[in-house]
């Protein structure tokens, strides 16, 4: 996108859209260059020192829906009603500092009141003596880009979950049918992979999305408190029970109760939960008769419940009751192709809720993220982007906006001592395998070689994969 420091523009008194320059413009500090401005696909307008529009090309008319005759002479904020007019006006910034603004993403309102995403660039206008006489701004309609972004996200998403990973796409395929059923679901995966998001998606996509969704972190509560939280209690059940308190099962009614970290509950609570699953009833503390539960139960854990059953830490009958349908969420390090999609998703999310206009992620920063092992998975990535939003005021998120532990996470620098070509190759293969937790397929993709080639080199170098 070009920035004009000295241009001919239409005087506020008005003239035709032809390329000829009227005599009245010869003595004006603003001059009109019709053919150039009219041929641009980007909108262009210019203002004088009083912020009144003195130039407005045809593309500006098309994007804003406002005829040139109506725009000329008006104060620019009255025409554009942009998201930055009051606090971060680009023209005010360039006319104050003398430095141009390049590719800032904002929203404007068109003549129909519809919000239009645009990318703007602005610079000052100077006369022959170098004095600032106004400012010029170009703006590019990003509506089509935004539409494509939404279509892409729709294609690779299920409610608030986004992924292009084949493993996640397989999960997306079964979620609609699963949502229509009332079967009990067990969601497994490492911490931070989005187990509660999947549970909410199953609930929201179901036949009654307005019904309550009640989430309980079973691992965060001691036994006595967890039991009263789940099943409630009656007045007088214990010393401080001065009134009845409904439990989470009662609050869930005919909706969904999500029991996160189900693998952490004690054997005593397991017995009571088993009764709910088998008979559909539970007893609040101090109650004399059972209560009926109509809530759908979705559970989740980061533990391997098969091992817990073998070690007698988790009841086998309860395991089979909650494991009617199992969904396993792969860790983020096994689906690096999702990282750019998730980054775009989170940037759009934080732009919306924080009213900022971060344009994206710089290449060097994205490279760091793609090669980071992400022990905290999607939650860790979300937190990284949220932190970057605090430090990055505008433009692109760069590596300096990351925490130091992350910006140095990819340490592929070769050791100082001399190495043969074979040693260098072995070094990078070992690094790639370590980054991907021993996953050879992902390591081969990272290195840009075929998987069979990687297998052969691992065997040749005697690498412990």
Is residue 315 domain-shared with residue 191, that is, in the same domain?
Answer: yes
Length of the chain: 465
Please list the residues that pair with 50 across neighbouring strands: none
Same domain for 388 and 303, yes or no, is: no
pLDDT band at residue 301 under the 50/70/90 scheme: very high
- Among the ranges 222-226, 236-240, 351-355, 381-385, which has the highest mean pLDDT value? 381-385
Structure-block tokens of residue 396: 């692109």
- Neighbouring residues of 283: CB distance < 8 A, sequence distance ≥ 6: 231, 272, 289, 290, 291
214: in domain? yes
Residue 442 sits in a domain whose CATH number is 1.10.10
- The CA dihedral of 352, 353, 354, 358, to the nearest 10 degrees, is -30
User: Where residue 292 falls among pLDDT bands split at 50, 70, 90?
Assistant: very high
pLDDT for res 194:
93
Q: How many domains does the chain have?
A: 4
| 299 has a pLDDT exceeding 50 | yes
Residue 327: its pLDDT value, please?
96
Distance from C-alpha of 452 to C-alpha of 436, rounded to nearest angstrom = 17
Pick the more confident residue, 28 or 337: 337
Q: 421-435 and 451-461 helices cross at what angle (nearest 10)? A: 120
Quote the DSSP letter at residue 415. P
Q: 178 Cβ partners below 8 Å, 6+ apart? A: 185, 202, 325, 327
In this structure, the answer to whether residues 232 and 129 fall within a common structural domain is no
- 267 backbone φψ class: left, alpha, beta (φ>0; ψ -120 to 50): alpha
Residue 1 resides in a domain: no
Mean pLDDT over the full length of the chain: 82
Q: Within 13 A of 35's CA, how many CA atoms are on the CB side?
A: 3
pTM higher than the cut 0.95: no
- Note whether 73 and 106 are same-domain residues: yes
Question: pLDDT tens digit string along 119-154?
Answer: 888 888 888 888 888 888 988 887 776 666 666 555
**Residue 174 above 60 pLDDT?**
yes
Radius of gyration of the chain (CA): 30
Q: pLDDT for 1-43, tens place per residue?
A: 333 334 444 333 333 333 333 343 334 445 544 556 676 778 8
Does residue 260 sit in the same domain as residue 197?
Answer: yes
Percentage of residues in the chain having pLDDT higher than 90: 32
Residue 141 is given by DSSP the state: E
Say yes or no to pLDDT of 118 above 70. yes
201 and 343 inside one domain:
no
* Domain end residue (candidates: 115, 141, 167): 141
266 and 231, same structural domain? yes
Contact 320, 299 (CB under 8 A): no
Q: What is the CATH number of the domain that holds 356?
A: 1.10.8.60
CATH of the domain at 95: 3.30.450.20
Q: In terms of domains, do 58 and 102 share one?
A: yes
Q: Furthest-apart CA pair in the chain: how many Å?
A: 97
Among residues of the chain, what percentage have pLDDT more than 70? 85
Whether 413 is in a domain gets the answer: no
**Secondary element (H or E) of residue 116:** strand 115-126
Confidence at residue 439, expressed as pLDDT on a 0 to 100 scale: 85
Residue 56 placed within a domain: yes
pLDDT at 3: 39
In the listed set 306, 330, 354, which residue is the last one of a domain according to the structure? 330
Q: Are residues 59 and 169 in the same domain?
A: no
More confident residue, 117 or 226: 226
Is the same domain home to 324 and 351? no
Could you tell me how far CA 174 lies from the centroid of its own chain?
23
pLDDT score recorded for residue 111: 79
The predicted model gives 246-268 an average pLDDT of 93
Q: State whether 219 and 162 are in the same domain.
A: yes
Measured distance CA(107)–CA(409) in Å, rounded = 36
pLDDT at 39: 66
- Write out the residue range of the structural domain in which residue 363 sits: 333-407
Q: Which of 98-102, 318-322, 330-334, 399-403 has the lowest mean pLDDT?
A: 98-102
Residue 295 and residue 160 share a domain: yes
In a domain, 146, yes or no: no
pLDDT tens, residue by residue, 29-88: 455 445 566 767 788 898 998 889 988 888 899 888 889 889 999 998 888 887 677 777
The confidence score (pLDDT) of residue 413 equals 47
| Domain-ending residue, one of 119, 141, 163 | 141
Q: List, for residues 177-207, the tens digit of each pLDDT value.
A: 999 998 999 999 999 999 999 999 999 999 9
């Amino acid at each position: 996108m070009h920035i004009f420091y000295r241009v001919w523009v239409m005087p506020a008194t008005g003239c035709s859209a032809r390329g000829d320059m009227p005599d009245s413009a010869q003595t004006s500090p603003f001059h009109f260059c019709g053919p150039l401005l009219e041929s641009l696909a980007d909108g262009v307008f210019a203002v004088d020192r009083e912020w009144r529009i003195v130039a407005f090309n045809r593309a500006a008319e098309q994007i804003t829906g406002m005829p040139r005759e109506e725009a000329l002479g008006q104060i620019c904020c009255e025409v554009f009603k942009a998201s930055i007019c009051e606090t971060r006006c680009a023209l005010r910034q360039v006319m104050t500092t003398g430095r141009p603004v390049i590719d800032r993403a904002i929203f404007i309102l068109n003549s129909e009141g519809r919000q239009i995403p645009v990318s703007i660039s602005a610079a000052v206008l100077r006369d022959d003596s170098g004095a600032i006489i106004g400012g010029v701004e170009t703006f590019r309609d990003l509506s089509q880009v935004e539409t494509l972004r939404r279509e892409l996200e729709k294609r690779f998403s299920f409610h608030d979950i986004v992924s292009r990973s084949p493993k996640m796409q397989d999960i997306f395929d079964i979620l609609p049918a699963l949502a229509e059923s009332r079967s009990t679901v067990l969601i497994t995966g490492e911490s931070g992979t989005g187990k509660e998001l999947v549970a909410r998606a199953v609930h929201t996509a179901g036949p009654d999305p307005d019904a309550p969704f009640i989430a309980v972190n079973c691992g965060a509560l001691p036994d006595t408190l967890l039991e009263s939280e789940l099943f409630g209690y009656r007045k007088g059940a214990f010393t401080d029970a001065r009134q009845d308190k409904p439990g989470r099962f009662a609050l869930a009614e005919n909706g969904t109760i999500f029991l996160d970290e189900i693998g952490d509950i004690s054997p005593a609570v397991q017995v009571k939960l088993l009764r709910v699953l088998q008979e559909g009833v539970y007893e609040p503390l101090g109650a004399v008769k059972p209560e009926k539960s109509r809530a759908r139960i979705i559970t989740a854990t980061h533990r391997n419940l098969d091992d817990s059953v073998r070690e007698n830490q988790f009841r086998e009958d309860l395991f089979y009751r909650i494991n009617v349908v199992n969904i396993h969420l792969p860790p983020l390090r096994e689906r690096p192709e999702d990282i750019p999609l998730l980054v775009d998703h989170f940037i759009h999310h934080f732009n919306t809720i924080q009213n900022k206009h971060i344009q994206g992620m710089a290449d060097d920063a994205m490279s760091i993220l793609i090669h980071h092992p992400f022990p905290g998975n999607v939650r860790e990535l979300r937190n990284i982007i949220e932190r970057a939003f605090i430090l990055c005021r505008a433009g692109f998120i760069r590596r300096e906006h990351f925490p130091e532990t992350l910006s140095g996470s990819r340490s592929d620098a070769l050791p100082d001592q001399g190495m043969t070509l074979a040693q260098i190759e072995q070094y990078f293969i070992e690094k790639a395998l370590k980054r991907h937790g021993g996953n050879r397929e992902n390591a081969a993709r990272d290195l840009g070689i075929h998987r069979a080639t990687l297998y052969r080199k691992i065997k040749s170098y005697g690498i412990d994969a």
